[in-house]
Amino acid sequence: MALIPADVAHSVDATASTAPASSARDEPQLVSAHLDTGVFIELLDKHEQVSQRIRFDTLPVTIGNHYRCDYILDTDEAAVQSVVVERDEANRLHVRAPNPFWAPGGLTRDWIVDPERAFMLAGERIRIRTRDYAPKHRRMSSDVIRRLSGWTLLVALAGAIGLGAFQAWLIDIEGVRTSQYVTAAFAVVGMLSLWAGAWAIVSKLTGKSTHFLAHLSLAAIGMIVSAIVEFVFDSVTYSFDLKTLWQYGNIVVWAVLGALVWAHARLIVRTRAASAWIAAFVVAGSVLAIEWTSSFNARSTFAQSATLNEARPPGWRMASGVSLDSFQKSAARLEAAAEALKSEKPEGVDLGQYGE
Amino acid sequence: MKFCFQTHGSERTTVKMQRIRQQLSKSAATFFGCLAAFAFAQQAAPANPAGASAVISANPGNASQPAMSPASPSGQRLFDAARDKLVQIRILTRAGGSQASVGSGFLIAANGTALTNYHVISQLVLEPQRFRAEYVRVDGKRGEVALINFDVVHDLALIRLEGLTNAAHFSLRGAAEPLRQGEKIYSLGNPLDLGFAISEGTYNGLVERRLYEQIHFTGALNPGMSGGPALDEAGRVIGVNVAGTGGELANLLVPLTYVRPLVSDSRSTEPDKKLIASQLKMHQAVMVDALLAKPFKRQALGPAEVAVGDDSLLRCWGNSNAKPEKLYRSESTSCALRSSLFVDSNFTTGTVSWDHTYRVGEKLGAWRFAAWQQRVVSAQGKATDAVGAKPTRYLTRALCEDRFINAQGISYRAAVCVRAHREFEGLFDVTVRANSVDREVESLSSSLDAKGVSFANAQRLIRAFLEVSKWR
């Protein structure tokens, strides 16, 4: 199939979709004046890969097999004038078929252009995009980077510092106050900066910009979300005596960490999707593995027991207790269980040594 | 110039005593150097009678005390008379014959039967395939040691010194002649592996608040003298050197009350670990029965009432950090039964201890108090785990059960952890931690540790312990 560009258009390489309009060989003023209204007509193969891309700087554009069309389909199946690409009053890009008989689908006369979808016209797979088009993940990334700056950054950073100060206040039972809070705030800022700095280096190595502030903002949000998730889990666990939730609560926290790593990698650094997932699994998985080995080493000990590691959240309900009889009855199982452990090696593999 | 300390004795005896004194003088510098080293070592393990040192300590907690008082004429006479009856017990590795530890012993029968401490020959009982024992007499003659019987509860062992017949031996002071406080007694042994020596002191009655009788000996005992005899002025045995207390010249002797049954107990089987197990079981039964013979006494601790022990059996200690400038206050009381038994240099058992801490933080508020409580209790839990949660040669790892419980109107978050004794069937180490959770700015934390008890007795203790505490 041969595509014959009309004289008002020029051919561009399929891999250079963002080539500047000034590279056009004719009428540079016209191209400049209609920069935002131009479209790319893309001819796709059956695998939806672009086999040819033509840029038109003025609308409307007609696509058909007549030599009066702007974009000529070299096929006998097409009508003299198959479709017209034009903008409506709201500046939306439309495809209109003057003759419904030749319209794709037979009856559809007019539809809004979807840059993600191709349509069939005279046996050809055609897609229309504009200069504003960006792949989905890049569009999201740009959006995220923009949203993470400005007020979001200020609020997130203030929140993280506030969280650090709150935690310092919680443990300030000696009334040291100012010095302790400032230290905590510096610690939070330092920690976030280190984290964001590491990601900024990754950004710089894989692109042109460090996006340090975006990384910093995301790190601060991650810290706040982690703290909230952990608090909610601990509180619910304690208030309702949900041991299982306590045991697996860390997994949720590390899922938050994994999501944070994914967001850094995918949305800001703009790595490939697979790389972002691998980074998330490796970082969160490693930390979870360390936690797990520590937990394994401390299994069935006081350190492992929810009893002694979770404080009662003030003002919340407290789980109802059992009688001393019930407690002793349930503890009775420990006699046989402890006897059964005699065969366990005194000095077996100590996974805990790698965990802490 | 001659030193004639003895009231009756030959010229030859005087010369011998002079030599001994000279030897002691020559050894002084080395001796005090060793003392410093021992003092340092014992700070790390004050309750371990044998310690980790190669020399079996008769006084592990007080090695820095003056080693020997100047010998009196009586001392010279007694030492001279005791020379042939004293032995040093050496524990040697079977593989290379290296010296693993040393202690003292003394003959009580002409056929070579001798007494020493269990902790001197414990390696012989626990690991006979790795260790053997030999004795060395004052004149340097040596021979093999065979185990006849032991009493792990009172730290005594009956041994046979092979190759001795018609040996000179000590006689035991009769039960009908009780010692009087202030009476002079003399302790003999081989301190610090320096050579045989005598230490003069006084009898100060029986130690108070003990499950079993022990003689309070005010005199020097040093590592290496364990298992040596304590004599009255007539040269009769009144006790066996056993341990120090950590105080200045305050040391302990095992009275003859426990020696006589051991000597008269003719065992047909070779003493082994099973004998230790049966003795430990008897001990824990005696201990728990004694503790629970009367209901626990109550003592005020802040607005709570908590369990404390019977004054005749144990001592409780208190502490408080109450200061007006502080945002919080805590008061605590801790009680411990001094009944710990030596089994191995790495393993003591057979004791019960507990403590209560009341914390209040009105100025802290509920959030900070909760955070403080969490940190304190968590740290205590981790500290407990650090010293004993992993499996060891003698204990399994801990298994725990935790619950919210209500007892005497207090809501606790409580946990009980159990470790079984690997070597001794039916014995457990049990730990209970209970933290009250029903008040926002005050709490009561209670913990109980019972080592080497049967599970049934552990349950009795837990119930008795938790049923006492209440808010007033």
CATH code: domain of residue A82: 2.60.200.20
How many angstroms away from the CA of A297 is the closest CA of chain B?
A: 8
Q: Is residue A313 part of a domain?
A: no
**Residue A193: inside a domain:** yes
Residues in chain B with CB shorter than 8 Å from the CB of A335 are: 418, 428, 455
Q: What is the pLDDT of residue B108?
A: 94
Residue B34, pLDDT above cutoff 70: no
Distance from CA of A239 to the nearest CA of B (A): 11
- Chain B residue whose CA is closest to A296: B390
Tokens of B258: 């426990």
Same domain, yes or no: A185 and A267:
yes
Residue scoring higher pLDDT (A347 or B367): B367
Question: 388-407 in B: which are within 8 Å (CB) of A?
Answer: 389-393, 396-407
What does the mean pLDDT of chain A come to?
A: 76
Chain B residues closer than 8 Å to A314 by CB: 365-367, 369-370, 440
A 308-337: CB under 8 A from B: 308-315, 318-324, 326-328, 330-335, 337
Ranges A82-86, B78-82, B223-227: which has the least confidence: A82-86
Of the listed ranges A229-238, B156-165, B380-389, the one predicted with least confidence: B380-389
Rama region for B191: left / alpha / beta (φ>0; ψ in -120 to 50; rest): beta
Cα–Cα dist A354/A176, whole Å: 35
A60 prior amide bond cis, ω within 30: yes
Average pLDDT over residues B321-338: 87
Do A157 and A278 have their domain in common?
Answer: yes
- Write out the H or E segment, with its range, that includes residue A196: helix A178-206
Q: What pLDDT band is residue B155 in, cutting at 50, 70 and 90?
A: very high
Half-sphere exposure at residue A135, Cβ-oriented, CA atoms within 13 angstroms: 8
> Do A188 and A144 share a domain, yes or no?
yes
CA–CA separation, A11 vs A50, rounded Å?
Answer: 13
* Per-residue pLDDT tens over the stretch A23-51: 333 333 333 344 456 889 999 988 888 98
Q: What is the pLDDT of residue A308?
A: 45
Mean pLDDT of B439-451: 90
- A122 shares a domain with A157: no
Domain containing A213: what range? 137-308
Residue-wise pLDDT for A274-306, tens only, equals 989 999 999 888 888 887 777 676 665 554 554
Strands B215-218 and B341-344: unpaired
Per-residue confidence (pLDDT) for residue A25, from 0 to 100:
37
3-state secondary structure string, B6-63?
CCCCCHHHHHHHHHHHHHHHHCHHHHHHHHHHHHHHHHHCCCCCCCCCCECECCCCCC
Please identify among residues 238-277 of chain A the ones whose CB lies closer than 8 Å to any CB of chain B: 241
Packing angle, helices A151-171 and A136-148, rounded to 10: 60
**pLDDT for the residue numbered B204:** 93
Q: What is the pLDDT of residues B331-357, one digit of tens each?
A: 999 999 988 899 998 899 999 999 999
Strand A71-73 and strand A61-64: the pairing is parallel
Domain assignment of residue A320, yes or no: no
Q: Are the C-beta atoms of B201 and B186 separated by less than 8 Å?
A: yes
Residue A334 located in a structural domain = no
Mean pLDDT of B295-320: 87
Neighbours of B246 (CB within 10 A): 15
Give the separation between CA B342 and CA A229, rounded to whole angstroms. 50
Tokens 């790389």 map to which residue? A275
Binned at pLDDT 50, 70 and 90, residue B129 comes out as very high
- At B118, give phi and psi (nearest 5°): -60, -40
Burial environment of residue A320 by CB neighbours within 10 A (0 to 12, 13 to 18, 19 or more): exposed
Q: What angle do CA B354, B358, B362 make, to 5 degrees?
A: 165
Rounded to two decimals, the ipTM of the complex is 0.75
- What span, in angstroms and rounded, lies between the C-alpha atoms of B170 and B232? 11
Task: Evaluate whether B86 touches B137 at the Cβ level (below 8 Å).
Answer: yes
Q: What is the pLDDT of residue A32?
A: 37
CA distance B122 to B155: 10
Cα A90 to Cα A41, A61, A86, B321, B440: the distances in Å are 21, 18, 11, 77, 63
Asked whether B14 and B6 are in contact (CB, 8 A), the reply is: yes
- Report the residue from A175, A308, A346 with minimal CB separation from B327: A175
* Selected residue with higher pLDDT from A76 and A158: A158
Residue A124 lies in a domain: yes
pLDDT tens per residue, range B62-72 = 444 444 455 57
Q: What pLDDT is attached to residue A99?
A: 66
Closest residue in A to B436 (Cα–Cα): A312
Pick from B122, B102, B184: nearest CA to B345: B122
Residues of chain A contacting B422 with CB distance shorter than 8 Å = 342, 346
Q: Which residue is associated with the tokens 């989905």?
A: A136
Rg of chain A's alpha carbons, rounded to an integer?
Answer: 31
Question: Would you state the pLDDT for residue B55?
Answer: 53
Does residue A34 lie within any of the structural domains?
A: yes
* Average predicted confidence (pLDDT) for chain B: 81
Q: Is A290 inside a domain boundary?
A: yes
3-state SS assignment for residue B247: strand
Q: How far apart are CA B388 and CA A300, in angstroms?
A: 12
High-pLDDT (> 70) share of chain B, %: 82
Is residue A38, in this structure, part of any structural domain at all?
yes
B1-5, B253-257, B396-400: the lowest-pLDDT one? B1-5
> Does an H or E element contain B467, and which?
helix B455-468
Coil, strand or helix: which one is A261?
helix
Please state at what angle helix A151-171 crosses helix B365-388, rounded to 10 degrees: 70
Domain annotation for chain B: domains and CATH numbers: 11-270 (2.40.10.120), 278-471 (3.40.1000)
pLDDT band, residue B8 (cuts 50/70/90): very low
CB of B222 closer than 8 Å to CB of B58: yes
> In the structure, what pLDDT confidence band is assigned to residue B56 with cuts at 50, 70 and 90?
low
The residue count for chain A: 356
Q: Which of B390, B417, B455 sits opposite A302 (nearest CB)?
A: B417
Q: Give the number of domains in chain A.
A: 2
Tell me the pLDDT tens digit for each residue of A67-124: 888 888 877 665 555 788 888 888 888 888 776 555 555 566 788 888 888 888 777 8
Pair A106, A200 in one domain: no
Query: What is the distance in angstroms between the Cα of A346 and the nearest Cα belonging to chain B?
Result: 5
Would you call A36 helix, strand, or coil by DSSP? helix
What pLDDT, on the 0 to 100 scale, is given for residue B42? 37
Q: What does the pLDDT average to over A128-145?
A: 77
> Which of A308, A330, A350 is the endpoint of a domain?
A308
Chosen domain end from A268, A291, A308: A308
Do both A178 and A114 map to the same domain?
A: no
d(CA A36, CA A22): 13
Phi and psi torsions of A216, nearest 5°? -65, -45
Residues in chain B with CB shorter than 8 Å from the CB of A307 are: 402-403, 413-415, 433, 435
Mean pLDDT across the stretch B219-232?
92
With contact defined as beta carbons under 8 Å apart, do A43 and A63 qualify?
Answer: no
Distances (CA, A) of A1 to A17, A76, B370: 21, 11, 77
A124 and A240 together in one domain: no
- Mapped onto helix, strand or coil, the DSSP state of residue B257 is helix
Residues A44 and A124 grouped into a single domain:
yes
Residues A120 and A261 placed together within one structural domain of the fold = no
3-state secondary structure of B373: helix
Give me the percent of chain B exceeding a pLDDT of 90. Answer: 44
Q: Are residues A147 and A293 in the same domain?
A: yes
